Structure formats: C-alpha cells, structure tokens
Chain A
Amino acid sequence: AQSVAQPEDQVNVAEGNPLTVKCTYSVSGNPYLFWYVQYPNRGLQFLLKYITGDNLVKGSYGFEAEFNKSQTSFHLKKPSALVSDSALYFCAVRDGGTDKLIFGTGTRLQVFP
C-alpha cells in the first residue's frame, strides 16, 4: 500500500535560515508526490509536485523539493525562511493508478523573527 510519513510534528527555524521539512514515501511503482501548505483557517494550497524528470522541483513562494529515490524521500526546502512561511505543511502521494491522494500527518513550521 502507498503511504507517506512526516517524521516531525513541528520544525522551528529562525528567519533567514534555510528550512527543511521532511517526507518519506512508500509506493509500488513510480511515485507521484505533492506538497501542500495550509495557513490558519484556510484550505490546503498546492506548492509543488514531482512526477518525473529532474530530482529538484521548484514550486510556489520560493519553495523547492528534492526527490531522492534511493532514500525514498521528498523533502521540502527553502534557502531563506520568512516569518510568513509559518504554516502547516502536508506531503502527499498519489494512490496507485487512482486520482486519490494519501496525505501525511502534517508538519507545523514555525519561523521565528
């Protein structure tokens, strides 16, 4: 069965420092991976996706993610964090040949001034 894991409930980082939010996956076949962000009292917003091709995927708001097949990881990164990046981040994987997504449990990112 497909699954994703977000091992950290919360990540704290100082503004201006690089940030990483971790995600590992388990799939049979090719992985189709997504990152979403959720600001308070809002729905999820799509950040980026990996389907195939370059292992470094660039997305919205300066975020990027690195796909690593050998480590089965898809970590979200940003070179310089902003206080406004503070939010809840979800990793997701496409469920086999369906259009459904399986979501991780989420990681709360807190960026301190």
Chain B
Amino acid sequence: DVKVTQSSRYLVKRTGEKVFLECVQDMDHENMFWYRQDPGLGLRLIYFSYDVKMKEKGDIPEGYSVSREKKERFSLILESASTNQTSMYLCASSSPGTHNQPQHFGDGTRLSIL
C-alpha cells in the first residue's frame, strides 16, 4: 500500500513566521502535489512536482514555495505566514501519465496562523 506521510497533523504558528510542511511518500512516485482544503472551496492546487528539483505552480501559489531535493520528499514553505493561510494542507503523490493512476493522499496538516 502506498503511504504518504505528513510530518505534523496539527501545527500552530505566528504571523510572519517561516513555516515548513513536510511530506514523504514510499512508493517511488514521480509526481507530488500540495493542496489546501477550505470549506466550500474543495481542494485547490498550490504546487506540484513531476520530478526531483522540478516544480510547477498550481492555482494558488502566492505566498508559498516548494522544495523537492529527493524523490520521496516534497516540502511546502510559507515564506511569511499570514492568517489567511490558516487551512488544512494535503499532500499527494502519483505515478505519471498513461495509466491514469489515482493520487494517494496523506492525512493532512491542519495549520493555524495566529
């Protein structure tokens, strides 16, 4: 079974702090994704990566950056946290393309910015 592990289930940080959210997958997937989930808005893609050191902006990249130095690890960085970044953050991974493999999700990090 694919396992996607997010380092923290709950996190509380202060406005202006630099925040790191970590995600590790154990299935050698090329693709990794970061989403935020807000009530009534569903899941919105922040960034995704299709290979080591490769990244692409999603629909809402402002205020975020990412790092993928190793294939199994994909980090989301909030450069200077703001209260409007309080949300549930979900990481996912998948195999590329032709077989339309589903994305596999971690259990999420509920982040509160005070």
Report which A residues bind B (CB closer than 8 A): 9, 32, 34, 36, 41-46, 49, 51, 90, 94, 99-101, 103-106
User: Counting chain B CB atoms within 10 Å of each CB, which of A36, A49, A99 scores highest?
Assistant: A99
**Which single member of B43, B45, B94 contacts A90 (CB below 8 Å)?**
B43
Taking CB atoms, residues of chain B closer than 8 Å to A105 are 40-42
**Count of chain A to chain B residue pairs whose CB atoms are closer than 8 Å in the complex:** 51
A23 to B33, CA, bound (A): 23
B42→A103 contact, CB < 8 A: yes
For chain B, which range describes its interface: under 10, 10 to 19, 20 to 34, or 35 or more residues? 20 to 34
Taking CB atoms, residues of chain B closer than 8 Å to A106 are 42
A62 to B78, CA, bound (A): 40
Within 8 A of A (CB), among B56-104: 58, 90, 92, 94, 96-97, 100, 102-104
User: Counting chain B CB atoms within 10 Å of each CB, which of A9, A36, A46 scores highest?
Assistant: A46
